[in-house]
Structure 1
Amino acid sequence: MTAHAHVPTLSTGTDYDTLAARFRPLFARIAEGSVERERERRLPFEPIRWLKEAGFGAVRVPIEHGGAGASLTQLVHLLIELAEADSNLPQALRGHFAFVEDRLNAHASAAQDRWFKRFVDGDLVGCAWTEIGAVKIGDVLTRVSRQGDQWVVNGTKYYSTGSIFADWIDLFARRDDTGADVIAAVRTRQPGVTLSDDWDGFGQRTTGSGTSVFDNAVVEPEDIIDFATRFKYQTAFYQLVLLAVIVGSGRAAVRDFSSETRTRTRVFSHGNAQAVSQDAQVLQVIGKASGLVYAAEAATLRAAEAAHQAYLAHWADAPAAERDANVLAELTSAQAQVAAVDLVLRATSDLFNALGASSTRITRQLDRHWRNARTAASHNPVIYKERIVGDWEVSGSEPPYVWQIGGGAQAS
C-alpha cells in the first residue's frame, strides 16, 4: 500500500464567525499597542506570545489533531483581520503558516502527527531562505552535512522573517552528500543558531526580518525534508500572506483616517461645511478609499479560495485536475497582487487628502499604513507577475511555481 493511500483528515473549514470571535478580542488588544511599537520600533514579542497561547498558529491543523480545522481561505481572512490590528504580525508568521501548509500536504505519517502536536502545543516556525552576496541564481550556499553521528547546518541567511520569535526555523539548504535541495527544520534554542534584528526597511519594521547565522546547528534526520516534495502552490501561498498584510494595512488606514475625520474640529475657510465630518469632498475621499480596499480584499479572498482548492485537489488522486488547480492558484494570486497593490497604495496615499498637514506628524504614525503596504508590495515584484499573467492570457504559458533571487551574469 502506498503512502498516498493513508489519506489524512483534512482542514476543509469551520464556522468563520465563531472562529474569528475567538481571536477578535486579542486582535483588539494587539491594536492598542501598535502605534507605540511602531514609533519605538519595538519587536512584538508579547503579542506573538498572546497569539501562541491562544492557539492561533494551529488554526489550519485538522480538528481531529487538536486544531481549528480552518480552510485556507479562512486563514487568509483571519490574517487580514490581524493585519488590521498590526500588519507586522501576519508577516512575522508567514513562514510558520507556510510550514504548517506543507505539513498539511504531507502524507499521513508519524512525522506529520508529531508536527501537528507541536503546532497545537504552540510551537512557531520562522523562515530562513534568502542568501545575499556572492550567491548566484540557482545556487545555495547553506549546507546540511553529516558530522559524526549528527546532521548539522552551516550558513548565513537574511530576511529571516519571524525567526527571532520562533521555536523552529524552516531553512532552505543543500545536502553536502547528495547535492539535493532540502528544508531543514532547525530548533532555534541551541548554541549553533544566532538571530539578529537588523532589518532596516522603512516599513514592516517589527517583523523580525533579520540575519540568521548557523554554525554547526544540529538538525534531526527526520526534520530534513526533500524540497522536491514541498507543496506545489507554495508561491501562491506566500503571496497570499503578503496580500493579507497589504489589505489589512488598507483597512487600518480607512479606520484611522475615519476616526481622525470624525473628531477633527479645525476646518478650512474654503471647505464645504462647518465640520470636517460633514464635508462632502472629505467624505468622498474616505468613501473611495474604503471601496478600493474592499475590492483588494475581495480579490485576495477569491485568490485564497483558489489556493484552498489546490490543497483539496492534492488528495483527489487526479493529477491533471491537481495541476490545473495549482496553475489557477498561482495565476489568481498574481492577479490579486496586481489589483491589490495598486488599490491599497492609492488608498493609503489619497487618504491624506481628507486631513491637513497635521496628519503627517510622526507622533500619529498615519504614514505607517502606506509604508507598510509599500514594503510588503515590494516583495515578488508585481511587474513580473503582470508579465506572467499576460503570458498565460496570450499564450497559455504555465506560471513558475518556485522563485529565486541571486546574482546574475555580469554584463560584458
Structure 2
Amino acid sequence: MLLFPKESTLSHTARSIDSAAITDEQVADDQAPDDQALLARFTPVFQRIAEGALARERAGQHPTEAVQWLRESGFTAVRVPRALGGGGASLRQLHLLLIALAAADSNLSHALRVHFRFTEGHWSQRDLPESQKWLRRIADGAVIGAGNAERTGEHGKFATNIRRQGDGYVLNGQKYYTTGSLYADYVSVSVTTENGELATVVVGTRAPGVEVVDDWVGFGQKGSGSGTTVFRDTPVDAANVAPPVGGSGARWAHVQLSHLATTAGIVRRATDEITDFVKQRARTYRQASAAIAKDDPLIQAVVGRADATAYALQAIVLQAAATLDDVANAQWALRVGPPAARTEAALAALKERDIEAGLDTYRAQAVVFELALKTTTEIFEVGGSSAVDRNRHLDRHWRNVRTLASHNPLIYRHRQLGENRLNGNPPYNFLSNTQTAALGGESEDAALGV
C-alpha cells in the first residue's frame, strides 16, 4: 500500500482551502511593521552578536549563545504572522534583516536558512490548523534545521529511510550538510519509505536515536552547524510525515536568496573592516600617492568600490525578495479567495509569475557571487602584508563567500538562464502541478528542507 495514495491535486487543495472553515484570525493579513521599526528592534541584538564574532572565529567557537539571543528577541519568528505570535515581517524585510545579521556573523544567517524556508511553507498555508501549530511553535522559539544531503547514493534517492512501527514510523540513516542542526530543536529530513516513495519527516533533535555531530570541515562558514546528523531507530509521529515537495520557482528562489542575503552581509562587513583598517593605518608605501593610506586615491578607490558593491548587492537581494513577496501574497489571495476565482487561466498566470520570480533570483545569484568574490579578494590591496595578519582574519570573508557560492555552482545557473532565454525552458526544478504551485503548496511545502 502506498504511503501517499494517488489523489487529484485539485480536489485535495479544494478541501484544504474550504473558505467556510477559515476563521478571521487565520485570514488576517497583518500590516507589516516598517523597516525602521524592525531595524530598531533587532540592531542591538545584531551589534551584540557582532562584538564577539571575530573572537569566535579566532577560537573556533560556535555562536550557540547568539542563537539563543535571536530566539529571545523574536528574530527567529519575525516572519510568523502577528496573529500567531510573530513579527509579521514581509519577505523583503526578512532579507533586509538577514543582511544585517550576516554583517554581524554570517554563520547565523546561514544556519537559519532552512528554518525560514520551513516557516515560509507554513506561512503559505496558515489557514490550516497544522501550520498554525507550527507557526505558534516557532513564535515560542523553536528553530528548525536541515536534513537533506547525503554523501552516498544518487541525488534525490535517499538511503535514509522510514518504516512503519505501530501507529508511527522509525527513522534510520545519516545526513550531511545538516545546516543549523547544532542549534535546532527540530530537523526536516528527506527520506525513502518502505515502498520506495520519497517523503519528508520532521523530528526533534533531542528525540531518541538522534545524534548531531559537529564534523563540518569546510574552510568557510565554520559556525553554520553544517555537519552530520545520524538517526538510529528514531520514532516519528505519523503527523510529521509528508509527501515530497514539488518544484516551484518561488520555493527554490527562497532558499537561494538566503545565501545571497548572507553574501551581501559579508561584503558589507568586509567593507566596514577595511575602512576601519585604512583609517588607523599610519604607514604606507614609498610609491604611494599620499603620505597616509586614507588620503591615497588608489586606496580610496578600493574602499569606494567595495562600498558600492555592498550597496548594490543589498539592492539586488531586496528587489528579488520584493518579487517573492508579490508572488506569495498573490498565491495567498487566490488560495483564500472565492473558488470561482481559481480558474485555469488565473492559476497559469500565477505559475508564470512564480517561475519568473525564481529566474530573478537565479539572475541575482549569477551577479552577486561574482561581485562578492571579486570584492573580498580586492580588499587586500589596501594594506599589503598587514592585511594578511591572521589576527585580522580578513580572509574569512572570501572563504565564507566561496563556501556559499559552492552550494550551487554558477556554471549551472548561467546555463539554465541561457537555456530559458534561448529556448523558453524554465529550470527543471521549477516545474510542478500548476494548481499546487500557484496556491502556495500543500502540507508537503511546509516540510521543505533545502
TM-score > 0.5 by shorter chain: yes
Three-state SS of the structure 1 residue aligned to 2:171 is: strand
- Of stretches 22-31 and 145-154 in structure 1, the one that deviates more from structure 2 is 145-154
Q: Does 1:154 align with 2:172?
A: yes
Offset of residue 236 of structure 1:
0.8
Pick the aligned partner of 2:291 from 269, 274, 282: 274
| Cα distance in 1, alignment partners of residues 247 and 78 from structure 2 | 20
RMSD of equivalent CA atoms: 1.7
| Cα distance in 1, alignment partners of residues 225 and 42 from structure 2 | 22
| Cα distance in 2, alignment partners of residues 254 and 187 from structure 1 | 39
| Cα distance in 1, alignment partners of residues 326 and 349 from structure 2 | 10
| Cα distance in 2, alignment partners of residues 219 and 231 from structure 1 | 27
| Cα distance in 1, alignment partners of residues 106 and 30 from structure 2 | 25
The one-character-per-residue Cα deviations of 1:149-184 (angstroms, maximum 9, x if unpaired) are 33221111000000111000011112224x332221
* RCO comparison, higher one (Cα < 8 Å, 6+): 2
Three-state SS of the structure 2 residue aligned to 1:342 is: helix
Structure 2 partner of 1:283? 300
- Of stretches 291-300 and 239-248 in structure 1, the one that deviates more from structure 2 is 291-300
| Cα distance in 2, alignment partners of residues 8 and 230 from structure 1 | 26
| Cα distance in 2, alignment partners of residues 152 and 76 from structure 1 | 36
Q: Is the 8 A contact 2:101 2:108 kept in 1?
A: yes
- Of stretches 66-75 and 3-12 in structure 1, the one that deviates more from structure 2 is 3-12
Distance 1:53 1:254, change over 3 A: same
Offset of residue 400 of structure 1:
2.7
Pick the aligned partner of 1:2 from 5, 15, 19: 15
Percent identity of paired positions between Structure 1 and Structure 2: 38
Correspondences of 1:7-406 after superposition (within 5 Å) = 8-10=27-29, 13-106=32-125, 108-133=127-152, 135-177=153-195, 179-228=196-245, 233-317=250-334, 318-401=346-429
Q: Is the 8 A contact 1:299 1:339 kept in 2?
A: no
Structure 2 partner of 1:406? none
Q: Which runs of 5+ in 1 are unaligned?
A: 404-412
| Cα distance in 2, alignment partners of residues 98 and 279 from structure 1 | 45
Q: Which runs of 5+ in 2 are unaligned?
A: 1-13, 335-345, 432-450
| Cα distance in 2, alignment partners of residues 185 and 124 from structure 1 | 12
Matched AA of 1:291: A
Offset of residue 143 of structure 1:
1.1
TM-score norm. by structure 2 comes to 0.86
Q: Is the 8 A contact 1:11 1:60 kept in 2?
A: no
Three-state SS of the structure 1 residue aligned to 2:33 is: coil
| Cα distance in 2, alignment partners of residues 395 and 45 from structure 1 | 47
| Cα distance in 2, alignment partners of residues 197 and 229 from structure 1 | 31
Bigger fraction of residues in helix:
2
| Cα distance in 2, alignment partners of residues 12 and 140 from structure 1 | 41
Distance 1:272 1:75, change over 3 A: same
Matched AA of 2:300: L
Distance 1:228 1:366, change over 3 A: closer
The one-character-per-residue Cα deviations of 1:259-281 (angstroms, maximum 9, x if unpaired) are 00011111212111122111111
